[in-house]
Amino acid sequence: MDDRLFFDLRATHNPHRWYLPLSPQVCVGPPGSMFMFGGVGLASAIAAMERTCERPVIWATAQYLSYAKPPSVVDLDVWTPAVGKHVTQARVIGHVDDREIFTVNAALGSRESEISEQWLAMPDAPRPQDCEAGEHWRGDDGGLHSRMEVRLAKGGFGAERIGNPEVDGRSLLWMRPRERYAIDAPMLAVMADHVPSGIGNALGKNAGGNSLDNTLRVRRIVPTEWVLCDIRIHGVHGGFGHGAMYLFAQDGELMATASQSVIVRVRETPQDR
């Protein structure tokens, strides 16, 4: 495990401008219609802000405005309208040429404090090695999903629970990057964007969604190989769904929380394709 990024974020001569060449490895969708995974947008913005501001992210929220497709290049402009003694308020605009793809607002910083408490406990879950592997409903298409290893501790992933809805709308997924990248704030942002995968599990349908937003709040990041993603779908109505995720290290440490709203999409079943 090392400190490389999961995506190819590159610096420029301007410390407030970064760019991200898009390859299928950071995209999702069917062949010929792939687009950048929303979590990569938030993650790359977090990485850019942390490097520009030289401070760790406290929270960051992304609003997804459009789709970026490979092999385009996403430019990320970092703005720091308020820089304090302990906290920087920052913003990133991600765009392809003049077309805005996402906007991320965030706060970064740290303060000396001896207080470290956690009231949200990690749910009981079997170890990753004792869980079945979860496969994305589209299979290994060479995109981003093929780079993430998922183990099912509770519920299903993608189309695995058709006809059998999860009554509490909850799923527990162990997740890690297959290439063993470090578990840091950008990596947690990528994982957090899997909230839509809980839609199908909650409904008992081959369903998911496109993210409208993604908010990550970082508590404390500790070394861990696997992350337990506790996904809770709160409700679906009018074609939209809302849910949250709690991200735990293997030792039970709550590292971050996340929440999203999504456009719900019910897909054809694998048998119909």
The token pair that represents 152 in the structure block: 């099912």
Q: How confident is the model at residue 271 (pLDDT cuts 50, 70, 90)?
A: very low
* φ/ψ of residue 25, rounded to 5: -70, -15
What are all long-range contacts of 78-82, with beta carbons under 8 Å and residues at least 24 apart? 78/16, 78/17, 78/18, 78/48, 78/49, 78/52, 78/53, 79/16, 80/16, 80/52, 80/53
The token pair that represents 1 in the structure block: 């495990």
Pairing mode, if any, of strands 227-237 and 240-249?
Answer: antiparallel
In 116-214, alpha helices (H): 185-192, 197-203
Mean pLDDT of 6-23: 98
102-136 tens-digit pLDDT: 999 999 999 999 999 999 999 999 999 999 998 77
Q: How confident is the model at residue 209 (pLDDT cuts 50, 70, 90)?
A: very high
Instruction: Give how far the C-alpha of residue 169 lies from the chain's centroid of Cα atoms, to the nearest Å.
Output: 19
What's the CA gap between 187 and 211, in Å, rounded? 17
pLDDT confidence of residue 141 = 66
What percent of the chain has pLDDT above 90?
A: 85
- Element (DSSP H or E) covering residue 82: strand 73-83
pLDDT at residue 5 greater than cutoff 50:
yes
pLDDT confidence of residue 230 = 98
* Residue 204 buriedness (CB in 10 A; 0-12 / 13-18 / 19+): middle
- Write down the mean pLDDT value for the chain: 93
Pairing mode, if any, of strands 254-266 and 207-211?
Answer: antiparallel
253-268 tens-digit pLDDT: 999 999 999 999 998 6
Q: Do 10-109 and 128-272 show the same overall fold?
A: yes
Up-side HSE of residue 62: CA atoms within 13 Å toward CB?
33
10-109 to CATH, choices 1.10.1270.20, 3.40.50.80, 3.40.50.170, 2.40.160.210: 2.40.160.210
Greater pLDDT, 142 or 188 = 188
What's the CA gap between 239 and 219, in Å, rounded? 32
> Domain 128-272 falls in which CATH fold?
Porin (2.40.160)
Q: 49-63, 64-78, 85-99, 194-208: lowest mean pLDDT where?
A: 194-208
* Residue 120 buriedness (CB in 10 A; 0-12 / 13-18 / 19+): exposed
Give the predicted TM-score (pTM) of the model.
Answer: 0.94
DSSP 34-48: -EE-HHHHHHHHHHH
148-207 tens-digit pLDDT: 999 999 998 755 566 677 789 999 999 999 998 999 999 999 999 999 999 999 999 989
* φ/ψ of residue 52, rounded to 5: -70, -45
Domain ranges for the chain, please list them.
10-109, 128-272
Angle (CA) 106 112 116, round 5°: 85
